[in-house]
Amino acid sequence: METRDGVKANAKHLAREAESSFAFETLARAGYVANGVIHALIGAIVIVIASGGRGEGDQLGAMKAVAGAPVGFVVLWLIAIGLWALALWHVSEGILARDLSDDIEGAARKWSRRLSEFGQAAVFVALGGISAAVAMGARPDGEKTAEGASRSLLQIPGGHIVLGLVGVGIGVGGVAFVVMGVRRSFRNRIRIPDGGLGWGFTTLGVVGFVAKGIALLIVGVLLGVAAVRADARVAGGLDGAVDAVLELPLGPALAWVVGLGLLAYGVFTIARARFAWM
């Protein structure tokens, strides 16, 4: 029977083999492009909504927009494949968790990185699944799906606590994005080009990370309010966050800023496909 250390060694060996594959790296970089396209479309849709138009300002809305284009189902399948490849890359990064020492502090940081990498992998797997489902003809409503999931949680014992914790987790993720943008720590995983291109790339990253962080914070607050009130109608995803922003004073202007920020994040992520350390 294979020992635990043997399983661990085999997993790391497979992860290193995968990351040394040019084809795998190319697909993973394509995943950044796919993720960037989705965020850019979300940003554009949010701007349309802020200007008085109609649309779904979330990942599902972006994918439905792609589905409506000529050969959109082909593009959606390519997006799904790219996102799944990027998810596998994050799994490999989590397994390897390189450049950290084996002392107590290093071990804690190593598991923190692993949780971060595995969490990102789960997000990309889910997004890839949504893209594939839309490519096959599914047309779910993101807000109704979020409300339905929240309602199901609230109907079970302790469900409001779980929903509140989910809201806190998303809110913490939002804070992390804002901090990464303000501190420009995203540069640690990217080769920043020299000159004006590097300045523009960094600026896109700062604006994009802060905007996405604010959007996630709003989603987290909405889920927290839903948990406290035990009212699933308050819960929502990014589309619900846009609606919440529009109800604020100067709401359309604020929504425009969020939309432009998400558009910037999308462009940054597309460029990241070229400059990310892989």
Which residue, 140, 161, 188, sits at the end of a domain? 140
Work out the number of other CB atoms within 10 angstroms of the CB of residue 57. Answer: 32
pLDDT in tens, the chain (278 residues): 456 555 556 656 566 666 667 788 899 999 999 999 999 999 999 999 888 888 787 788 889 889 888 889 999 999 999 999 999 998 888 887 665 555 555 667 777 778 888 888 998 999 999 999 999 988 776 667 777 777 777 788 887 788 788 888 888 889 999 999 999 998 888 888 888 888 998 999 999 999 999 888 888 888 887 777 777 666 667 777 788 888 888 888 988 988 999 999 999 999 999 888 77
Contact 134, 76 (CB under 8 A): yes
Q: What is the pLDDT of residue 74?
A: 94
Which residue, 226, 246, 220, 56, is CA-closest to 148?
Answer: 226
* Whether the predicted model's global pTM rises above the 0.75 cut: yes
Please give the Cα distance from 161 to 224 (Å, whole number). Answer: 9
Say whether both 150 and 129 belong to one domain: no
Q: Is 25 exposed, middle or buried, given 0-12, 13-18 or 19+ CB atoms closer than 10 A?
A: middle
Q: Count of domains in the chain?
A: 2
Which residue, 218, 216, 204, is CA-closest to 263?
Answer: 204
DSSP annotation of 248 reads S
The alpha helices in the chain, defined as continuous H runs, are 4-19, 22-50, 59-67, 72-96, 104-135, 142-154, 159-183, 195-229, 238-246, 251-275
Say whether both 59 and 131 belong to one domain: yes
Amino acid at 258: V
* Unique residue bearing structure tokens 């291109």: 197
Say whether both 8 and 120 belong to one domain: yes
Say whether both 54 and 183 belong to one domain: no
Please give the Cα distance from 263 to 212 (Å, whole number). Answer: 10
Q: What is the pLDDT of residue 270?
A: 94
Which residue, 140, 163, 188, sits at the end of a domain? 140
Say whether both 7 and 132 belong to one domain: yes
Which residue, 97, 116, 140, sits at the end of a domain? 140
Say whether both 6 and 97 belong to one domain: yes
Expressed as residue numbers, the domain containing 188 is 141-258+267-278
Amino acid at 95: I
Say whether both 86 and 203 belong to one domain: no
Say whether both 120 and 211 belong to one domain: no
Say whether both 122 and 162 belong to one domain: no
Work out the number of other CB atoms within 10 angstroms of the CB of residue 161. Answer: 11
Say whether both 106 and 195 belong to one domain: no
Say whether both 122 and 147 belong to one domain: no
